[in-house]
Structure 1
């Protein structure tokens, strides 16, 4: 009997150690799925969740790029830019919180993406207008009031020949750059297929893309 008690007493710390190890491992895995600055899912997680969401029904695929972000960084420092990213991420999450099944992510730099359930396409302009107003509202930083602009492009998946995330992102990318060329705001993709070519799923000519014969300036 004493041997059994001794064995159990020795096993308790070992079991506790394994439990704690499992908790730490789960926390590390969860952290790896999140962008450390914004707290939003990473690109890989977003693409996985978004592709599954699109297979379940009509959605809007959104791309959001901040306007004036470099100027804010240059003027007030990178810490201010980081605060802008955190603020926009939080507001993007809040704006989608009441839309069950929506998912947002930071793709990198000052670019964000989201997939939102859209059973009625008529509400999309209202959604985009509200979202644009949310993310461009001023925010407080070290006693100052700062703000950034935003250009948002959207694609309605019900208008695509198939629920393809790469194609939806491409259309949203084109719409977003149309909004940016017009000075910001939002734009919904429509009409004929985009005429611009793509490199690695992004519009050729965007910073960070290149072809085998030409490298784009960063």
Structure 2
């Protein structure tokens, strides 16, 4: 007993140091999985969570690209662009809050002005309502340094129930095709029509096929 207390006392700082180090490591891992500007998960973290979601239950996978973002940066500066990106992240976070009763929803910033979401949504009737509301929210003007700034948005959606087998890779590809179809039409939203073959386009995107389309003019400049 006489040697136990000194031994414990000597070990206490080491144990405390390891505890602090473990907390630091957890924080570093958490930061690595989050986009530093928007706080949303990065692509890798999104793909892990979204893959689990679409494997378990019907879902809608979205790819979102902001229209006129380059125009905004060129004319109002990168600080305005950053504000729009944070506003987009907030809108997507509110979307998951709205669907809080459907566990597993995840949104992410894929990079640049491109975002993605995977949402449990077993009833396809709700998809147009969801996309219309999201598009309106993303295109709403922001007050910045005494004036308003805004961008448009092109949203592509894929219902995993329409795919031959649940899988995130195909769902993202079809949502990406649908997003580009919406962008070519001037913005808005477009729902992919099943697992159609893809065609390459001149700028590397893939052209989508017919789906539910809501056209909206692009505020804030030309599509990026």
TM-score by length of 1: 0.87
1:192 CA drift (Å): 6.9
Q: Does 1:10 align with 2:10?
A: yes
Give the distance between the partners of 1:150 and 1:50, measured in 2 at CA: 22
Deviation digits for residues 108-151 of structure 1, max 9, x if unmatched? 11000111111100000000011111111112222322111100
Q: With CA pairs under 8 Å and 6+ residues apart, which has the higher RCO, 1 or 2?
A: 2
Give the distance between the partners of 1:4 and 1:191, measured in 2 at CA: 69
In structure 1, what is the equivalent of residue 30 of structure 2?
A: 30
SS in 1 for 2:39: coil
SS in 2 for 1:152: strand
In structure 2, what is the equivalent of residue 112 of structure 1?
A: 115
Alignment of 1:96-135 (within 5 A): 96-99=96-99, 100-135=103-138
Give the distance between the partners of 1:143 and 1:103, measured in 2 at CA: 34
For structure 1, list consecutive stretches of 5 or more residues without a partner in the other structure. 198-202, 208-217
Structure 1 residues 130 and 120: alpha-carbon distance in aligned structure 2, compared to 1, 3 A threshold: same
Maintained 8 Å contact 1:35/1:42: yes
The total of aligned residue pairs comes to 203
Structure 1 residues 77 and 125: alpha-carbon distance in aligned structure 2, compared to 1, 3 A threshold: same
For structure 2, list consecutive stretches of 5 or more residues without a partner in the other structure. 206-223
Give the distance between the partners of 2:47 and 2:139, measured in 1 at CA: 25
Give the distance between the partners of 1:37 and 1:121, measured in 2 at CA: 33
TM-score by length of 2: 0.85
After superposition, the CA RMSD in angstroms is 1.8
In structure 1, what is the equivalent of residue 69 of structure 2?
A: 69
Name segments (4+ residues, structure 1) moved above 3 Å. Answer: none
Choose 58-67 or 91-100, whichever is displaced more: 91-100
Choose 20-29 or 160-169, whichever is displaced more: 160-169
